[in-house]
Structure 1
């Protein structure tokens, strides 16, 4: 699977004059990114996911796990951080991303904010800086490491962040200037007050009111429009009216269906045990105790489709089964951790 970005002109209700901005970006059924946003200077920013191969995010010779930056005509800006680096893709603006889903510039500061899916929780809000390494898969959740940038905020359990916007319209005064994040797994809109690059307050809007929310934009009329995404396999549970595009407008009521969030303080660091590794990297697909999910079958009792012996499990964790959606963890965690994880899996599979 490959991705490409094209620019069209819209004339007489028709898309004409296609121009390829970028093509042949490796992709997979998961972790594909695909957010497009124009920023200051009419520069185009494009997100890519790691295509279920986490270490690609740290490889500057690949497009995956990156935010890319282009001129509107598809050429590469000469002030990109790796433009003069012959061992890196010149299009790269930042790297070390897992699956970036939202991009939004704050009008007052021109800071670029990003939302990103984490591994079994650890969903992120980041401020994107030129040339920075955001750590995936070496660090995630509340991990820190020199030379890598930890998130402004991380959310565990997962909220499944989608598109983001800073609302600058005049129809919804209570939301003006706030960062709004569409949430899939959270089935809500996350509203953040940002001051001097810090989150000073946050609340959840429309919790469980309309289901999974993927996209959110400000319309030319100043109202907010958002779309649901309930037909997504395997988490979606579509109802008779799904999916929908909805308009958010003042109701004349004081009720806003808002819920305050506790301060997003860092959790105490935990020892990276095999059980914790399994929860962070495996449980979202395989279930807490290999009991399966809507994505995979149960493996309790040694019912492994790709080998049930220790050697096969280590191989599958190391190299992944990417055509089935399982990422390769080689390089993301140490060989010792892979072996310990395999032993843990064998233990809980009995």
Structure 2
């Protein structure tokens, strides 16, 4: 297998690259990454010691570059995306360009060159908030924030290439990932790095938002499983075993970092902060997928990485988020979602 991995210098992509480099049937792994603020060559670390690895600096929207790269490979795993909800509230156009146009550019090249496998990596946020129950893969897409909307659109673009051209596209939708090397704009590394600096952390509303937490290595195992065994045209939800309100991992992080709740401040909710995500991932379980990592143990390991590597995350923390407005008064249709 000759594998092109877009966004392979990012958080999840770099973990995936390191995983597949060890596979005997993988002849080459080419990483295409634009190295925006969230991408970093050092995420790949000792992967560069492998003669199988090639790194290409470039944009998934660059049609000529993408076409040339896809022509040399037999499979594609597409991680490259703008991925932070808060940033999408102020720079939505950038999200649409990278996530939608970038996906279309890649899928078009995959169709023209007869790629054997194409995995498009997405998120549970495309399903929108659920008061109860869990979203299966055929659940309606009801994204709220611009980020989630751009990912939903990119999912549909990718799947359209299966429906129209029979390009062998599969889509994975994962819940919240965490683990070493994650950019400190995301909640777990944001809280860890602030606590390690002796700063306060803030919870939106009263910390009641529910998310499912999936260790990054488990997500990568699921993505590889879909790459190898997924049925073209199908979507696969990838979840973990841990549904928590945002207060719960906050409490765990306070304990691990030796802090208390005096370091936590509750602030007004931000715009479009969905109250609850939940997915049914029984479909991929039939392929043998099962998250292997315990949340509490892997959270301690994650914190230990940030404690040991301040040189890695301190520069990232200097790239502040744009100012994000707080949520407006809920409309009747949203009553109860931000309680």
Q: Could you say which TM-score interval applies, normalised by the shorter chain?
A: under 0.3
Please say which structure displays the higher CA radius of gyration. Answer: 1
More strand by share: 1
More helix by share: 2
TM-score (norm. length: structure 2)? 0.27
TM-score (norm. length: structure 1)? 0.26
